[in-house]
């Protein structure tokens, strides 16, 4: 299961409202790369695939591909405002290590292919 905080949900809904493409949803995924071995992907999409799992979270349609699900179970997405602006934060209980930029991770059972130049 993936959790999206109320503040993150509000920000995502605001961003979706600014898009001109109808029927967009939030796609969350994982791919090999990043300085720790895996990197997160989060963005809007309008195409679903056979290996996608659909979820309703905070009144948002969220799609995750089957391969990414094992790395994202328990994931928590939040949005925090700061003096320098705002940004999404990700807490992943499956990550055994993360990089300083927060967009890359590795798990205890899967290393991925690290790219030290990614952060």
What is the spatial distance between Cα 87 and Cα 93, in angstroms, rounded to a whole number? Answer: 20
Q: Give pTM, 2 decimals.
A: 0.79
Give tens-digit pLDDT for 9-26.
Answer: 999 999 999 999 989 999
Query: Of 29, 72, 27, nearest to 48 (Cα)?
Result: 27
Q: Summarize pLDDT for 27-36 with one digit per residue, the tens.
A: 999 888 766 6
pLDDT digits (tens, 9 = 90+) for 38-51: 788 999 999 999 99
Strand order in the sheet with 3-4: 3-4, 76-82, 85-91
* Residue 6 in tokens: 């109320």
Q: Closest Cα to residue 72, out of 87, 51, 90, 94?
A: 94
User: Whole-angstrom Cα distance, residue 46 to residue 65?
Assistant: 14
């Amino acid at each position: 299961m993936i959790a999206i905080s109320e503040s993150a949900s509000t920000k995502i809904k605001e961003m979706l409202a600014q898009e001109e493409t109808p029927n967009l949803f939030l796609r969350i995924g994982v791919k090999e790369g990043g300085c720790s071995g895996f990197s997160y992907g989060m963005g809007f999409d309008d195409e679903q695939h056979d290996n996608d799992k659909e979820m309703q979270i905070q009144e948002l349609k969220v799609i995750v591909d089957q391969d990414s699900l094992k790395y994202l179970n328990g994931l928590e997405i939040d949005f925090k405002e700061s003096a320098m602006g705002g940004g999404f934060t990700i807490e992943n209980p499956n990550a055994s290590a993360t990089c300083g930029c927060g967009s890359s991770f590795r798990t205890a059972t899967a290393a991925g292919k690290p790219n030290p130049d990614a952060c």
